[in-house]
Amino acid sequence: MEQLYKIEISEYLEELGKELDITPKEHEEIVKSYQAVGNWLSKDDSSLTPYNPKILPQGSFMLGTIVKPINPADDIDIDLVCKLEKKPNAWTQRDLKIRIGDQLKSNSTYDRMLWEYKDGENYNEGGRRCWTLKYADVAGYHMDILPSFSSEGLTYLMEKTFSADSELNEHDLQALAIRITDTEKENYSTDTNIENWHKSNPFGYAQWFLQKALISKRKMFSLNESIDPVREYEKEKLPLQRVVQLLKRHRDIMFSSDEFDCENRPISVIITTLATLAYDRSENLVDAYSGIVARMRSYIEDRFNPETGQYEKWVANPINKVENFADKWGDVKQKQDYFYLWLDKLEEDLEKIKGSNGKGLQYLNESLSKMYGKEVTTRVFVNHGKKNVALREKGQLKMAGGTGVLGSVGVKVQNHNFEGDFGK
């Protein structure tokens, strides 16, 4: 692809990513909300205070890959970890879960929010792993709070900086793991030894993701920067973050069609993992996107399972190689089929994007609308048009000789009005 074309198409994709993202205002509201939860859990007279409770974001909110739901009436899910650094020896998983739940319920607002999620279905025991707070419809989100236990070392590791060149330290990654509760585990209400609790590593995963996402321009980074509750809203996302947003939205649109069973659509963690593995640190968005789409498929492994005597598809958790994110594909064949259908469609759609050179903005709008949704796409084009009027009015729009390309090169486009004889 020609250089100028790459720059121009990347600009549209970048703007599209911004439209899919939450706004700075929404971001601020969400941060305020979970900080308030954190403050409630750790305030002086909270029963949890001796155990140093903290609320930290995890999942797509931490990775910076959140996308708004297609239907504006649907909630955004915000994944949070509630981590305690100490616990009485006698506490089981259930004790930890219920204590956190009780502390939430002692606040009338949170008590109501726990009731309002799924009509109070999970009010007593919570969900399988989380407590869910349903915020008002106008807020448009709910928060999944994952009760967990971690060592004190976690805080220190989160301050450690890393860059695009650093080797990920396996030991540090493992030390970022937390222990979580799971109502479906046999030992849920009996086992007090955290070594036997389910291990999860959202922060290790985030470190892996962010280290792979960094481009050399950005020197040093620490996990704290992405979980810091008062961090600035990231206006400039890394190319990998944008690509993951575009991929997730593409999935959302494709599987919103009635011909698919939405339950079995590709899950975000598999998409994010494969995209990260396939990313080559391209700085240009369209290069990053096409490279990822072209290579993603090759990172799905075929592994022989000696127990069944059969090969099965594997998308290994990068920080826990024995965990297969695609473990459900064996039981529900449709999940695997859908994933490959989605990859096929992605490749086909990418060709359309790459072939939009010289076809007209209306053509690009139509292709992108089908892939990412009409409303967001058209908004991107309208904003582009308005931005160019503003640039011209400020005397910053130029036109290149020989081609007529409008941009930052050539003669200044003087102010004028498209009026003709209208004024007469």
Partner 1 sequence: MGSKYFTEKKHFAGMPANRQLSAIIEAFPDAKILSNRRDNFALEIDLQPSTLCEIYRIKIVYKSNISVKVYVVDKVLKIAHNRKKLPHVYSSEKQQLCLYSPSKKEWKSTQYIVNTIVPWASEWLYYYELWLIDGMWYGGGHNEYLNEELNKRIKDE
Stretch that binds partner 1, among 37-45, 118-126, 236-244, 385-393 (CB under 8 A): 385-393
- The 3 state secondary structure assigned to 87-142 is CCCCCCHHHHHHHHHHHHHCCHHHHHHHHHHHHHCCCCCCCCCCEEEECCCCCCEE
Stretch that binds partner 1, among 44-52, 128-136, 325-333, 406-414 (CB under 8 A): 406-414
Considering only residues 365-384, where is the footprint of partner 1 by CB under 8 A? Answer: 365, 378, 381-382, 384
Instruction: Find how far residue 6's CA is from the centre of its chain.
Output: 25
Establish if 399 lies at the interface with partner 1 (CB under 8 A).
yes
Cα–Cα distance between 260 and 254 in angstroms, integer?
9
Establish if 360 lies at the interface with partner 1 (CB under 8 A).
yes
Q: How far is the CB of 285 from partner 1 (least distance, A)?
A: 14
Instruction: Find how far residue 109's CA is from the centre of its chain.
Output: 28
Q: Judged by CB, which is closer to partner 1: 93, or 365? A: 365
Stretch that binds partner 1, among 21-29, 177-185, 228-236, 396-404 (CB under 8 A): 396-404
Q: Judged by CB, which is closer to partner 1: 27, or 384? A: 384
Q: Judged by CB, which is closer to partner 1: 4, or 139? A: 4
Q: Which amino acid is at 282?
A: S
Three-class secondary structure of residue 81 per DSSP = strand
Q: Judged by CB, which is closer to partner 1: 149, or 381? A: 381
Continuous segment of H or E residues that includes residue 369 = helix 361-372
Establish if 388 lies at the interface with partner 1 (CB under 8 A).
yes
Establish if 409 lies at the interface with partner 1 (CB under 8 A).
no
Establish if 364 lies at the interface with partner 1 (CB under 8 A).
yes
- In this structure, the strands spanning 398-399 and 406-407 are antiparallel
Sequence-ordered list of residues with C-beta below 8 angstroms from that of 131, at least 6 positions apart, any chain = 97, 100, 101, 104, 114, 122, 144, 145, 147
Could you say which of 232, 389, 394, 396 contacts partner 1 (CB under 8 A)? 389
Establish if 394 lies at the interface with partner 1 (CB under 8 A).
no
* 420: DSSP letter: G
Q: Judged by CB, which is closer to partner 1: 79, or 349? A: 349
Establish if 385 lies at the interface with partner 1 (CB under 8 A).
yes
Q: Judged by CB, which is closer to partner 1: 282, or 388? A: 388
Q: At what angle do helices 268-278 and 239-254 cross, to 10 degrees?
A: 140
Q: Please check whether residue 61 is in contact with residue 79, taking contact to mean a CB–CB distance below 8 angstroms.
A: yes
- Contact track, partner 1, 318-357, x by CB under 8 A: --------------------------------------xx
Could you say which of 32, 161, 386, 409 contacts partner 1 (CB under 8 A)? 386
- Contact track, partner 1, 7-26, x by CB under 8 A: -xx--x--------------
Quote helix, strand, coil % in the chain, to nearest 5.
50, 15, 35
Contacts of 216-219 with C-beta under 8 Å, sequence gap 24+, read 216/164, 216/165, 216/281, 217/283, 218/163, 218/164, 219/163
Establish if 306 lies at the interface with partner 1 (CB under 8 A).
no
Helix residue ranges, H only, 21-107: 24-42, 59-63, 93-105
Using CB under 8 A, list all residues that contact partner 1: 2, 4-5, 8-9, 12, 356-362, 364-365, 378, 381-382, 384-386, 388-389, 392, 399, 401-407, 411-424
